[in-house]
Structure 1
Amino acid sequence: MAFGRRNDEEIKLEETKVWECTSDSCNVWIRDNFKSSEIPLCPVCKSEMSQGTKELQVIHNHSKNFM
């Protein structure tokens, strides 16, 4: 039975480029490889976003639609 089994696979973390909302009342961020335009606007509050970095789990975007 698989109930209660733990996933022993190691989670790989990596310093990742992200875009963070500049509004003080919003804490939205987007991975750089998932952005929808060259300089994205916040999808929630429509404020400008600035580049930053976060230590995140590695995820690959295989979509041909991202920039």
Structure 2
Amino acid sequence: MYNSRKKPAEEVPYADTAIWSCTNDGCNGWMRDEYSFDEVPTCSQCQSPMERSMKSLPVLADTGFGYKKMTKPAPKAKE
């Protein structure tokens, strides 16, 4: 039997997130701070400097691949 009832869509949670946005007025490039590879990145679209700001974005699932998290030294194993 076919069930045609649609389940209500879950609301996507949003949070204020630190981002880097392009300083060039003609460019709308931006990236999440946690995925930037440089301390002060340059825009990948127009090579202009970027400035830090905040933006309300959907919360991403933590996959453990964020660059900022990789910079922490790994704990030493006890012998």
Helix, strand or coil at the partner of 1:42: coil
Structure 2: gaps (5+ residues): 69-79
Higher strand share: 1
Q: How many residues are aligned here?
A: 66
Relative to structure 1, the CA distance from residue 9 to residue 53 in structure 2 (aligned partners, 3 Å threshold; closer, same or farther) is: same
- Structure-1 residue corresponding to 2:12: 11
**Aligned twin of 2:24:** 23
* TM-score in terms of structure 2 length: 0.70
- In structure 1, the gaps of 5 or more residues are none
**TM-score under structure 1 normalisation?**
0.81
Q: Which has the higher contact order (CA 8 A, sep 6+)?
A: 1
Alignment-derived partner of residue 74 in structure 2: none
Q: Which runs of 4+ in 1 moved over 2 A?
A: 1-7
Q: Which residue of 2 aligns with 1:63?
A: 65
Which structure's residues are more often helix, by fraction? 2
Local SS of the residue matching 1:33 = helix
Q: Find the counterpart in structure 2 of residue 54 from structure 1.
A: 55
Q: Structure 1 pair 50/3, CA: closer, same or farther in 2 (3 Å)? A: farther
- Which has the higher Rg, Structure 1 or Structure 2? 2
